[in-house]
Structure 1
Amino acid sequence: MLQALETTTLRVSEIFFSLQGETSRVGLPTVFVRLTGCPLRCGYCDTAYAFTGGENISIVEILNRIACYKTKYVTVTGGEPLAQKSCLVLLTALCDAEYSVSLETSGALDLSQVDRGVCKVMDIKTPGSGEAAKNNWENLIHLTQKDEIKFVLCDEPDYQWAREIIHQRHLSQVCPILFSPVYGSLNPATLASWILRDQLPVRMQLQMHKLLWGEGPGR
């Protein structure tokens, strides 16, 4: 097993330590492993620098770098981390090392082989993202109550679309649902008023790292 982890590599854009800015883990000191590459091109993407570049790093070396930080929380993100097949090996290795692991994924790629110990945070892409056609609805059957579904909303049509998807697909019975306004595009107070008006069973979230450190991906 160790030899496999030493020889299996991933293309990594960056590994960094920060506060989790989103999801139910917001505020927790977390090591982020950002993998390179993504098959989607969402109009609001703030990590386009991760589409290319990076360096090839063995899974053992990734684990060693994570171990430098005294936290049990690790988030594997991108880009789209599942675009690299060896991401599945990394996720299992992190679970085996007893980290509390979350995966940030677009949901466009198959989730069926993701380690059961991982908290899957799956985006459902809205029309405003420009990538709604790539939603893989079959992934919903691979989500449990410990996972989370996220909608990133550009405007009121996105909100209305997401509201209908929640009702049509009974998403509140699947796992917790997150609504996030596109930073600098949709006013958070406006989104909050819509959620309260419609009494939606969702958690509204802001990107805390951007409130702290500005429009970059954040540290």
Structure 2
Amino acid sequence: MPQPSLKVNEIFYSIQGEGPHTGMPAVFLRLAGCSMGCVFCDTRYAFSDGQLMPLTDIVQAMEKYPCRNAVITGGEPTEQDFAPLAALLKQRGWCLHMESNGAHDADVSNIDFLVISPKKYVSRQMLQKAHTIKIVVGQETDLQDLQNYFQYANERTAVCLQPQSNLQENIDLCVKLIKQNPFLRLSLQTHKMANIK
């Protein structure tokens, strides 16, 4: 019987550069594949490029680093059955973060911290499971639609605005919106600003 596998784009060790855990060292597991295909995506190379890896090989590749924080990202990780890997990593003492567009309702019971970044469409169930809702904001963003996510802000769930491509005009727009709605938070891609690889 073949061992369960996932299509992996890359595994690397770095610093979390955005969201509420900015500055946290983590092993990033980037799974391949995303059917959303957003034109502004900064990881378009992960839409298709990747290799099939057995779960044990993935764990072995991740455990060569001196860290037990993991960020499962993509592509879009929920387009593959990541749950068995998440269960295996939890058994081995990992703290698991996931970044997803939230389009597919998925089993995130072993995920310690879930970030949902809505794009063209999003599952209401995934929004309700999120610890952070991170919305990419640019000059073309429908600000009326943006307000639909404000209702999810509470003591458990933060709603962050992330300026598209770190452009100053988008930063200015986010700051204006946050000052008008002080329950919102700003998320900058500090890894790009600091040129962290």
Question: Normalized against structure 1, the TM-score is what?
Answer: 0.81
Task: Give the Cα–Cα distance (whole angstroms) in 1 for the partners of residues 109 and 50 of structure 2.
Answer: 25
Query: Percent same amino acid among aligned pairs?
Result: 29
User: Structure 2 residue aligned with 1:91, among 77, 86, 91?
Assistant: 86
Task: Give the Cα–Cα distance (whole angstroms) in 2 for the partners of residues 21 and 84 of structure 1.
Answer: 24
Task: Give the Cα–Cα distance (whole angstroms) in 1 for the partners of residues 149 and 31 of structure 2.
Answer: 30
* Structure 2 residue 109 is the aligned partner of structure 1 residue 115: yes
Is the 8 Å Cα contact of residues 103 and 120 (structure 1) preserved in structure 2? yes
Query: How far is the alpha carbon of 1:148 from its aligned partner?
Result: 1.1
Query: How far is the alpha carbon of 1:114 from its aligned partner?
Result: 1.6
Task: Give the Cα–Cα distance (whole angstroms) in 1 for the partners of residues 26 and 74 of structure 2.
Answer: 15
How many residues get paired? Answer: 195
Is the 8 Å Cα contact of residues 82 and 88 (structure 1) preserved in structure 2? no
| Structure 2 counterparts to residues 1-219 of structure 1, below 5 A | 7-85=3-81, 87-111=82-106, 113-125=107-119, 131=120, 134-143=121-130, 147-155=131-139, 157-162=141-146, 164-167=147-150, 170-173=151-154, 175-185=157-167, 186-196=169-179, 198-213=180-195, 219=197
Unaligned stretches of 5+ in structure 2? none
Are residues 116 and 7 of structure 1, via their aligned partners in 2, closer, same or farther at CA, if it must alter by over 3 Å? closer
The alignment partner of 1:101 has SS state of strand
The structure where helix makes up a greater share of residues is 1
Please list the CA deviations of residues 100-144 of structure 1 after superposition, one character each: whole Å capped at 9, or x if unmatched: 110110000113x2224431111122xxxxx2xx2222323334x
Query: How far is the alpha carbon of 1:62 from its aligned partner?
Result: 1.0
Is the 8 Å Cα contact of residues 15 and 25 (structure 2) preserved in structure 1? yes
RMSD across aligned C-alpha pairs, in angstroms? 2.0
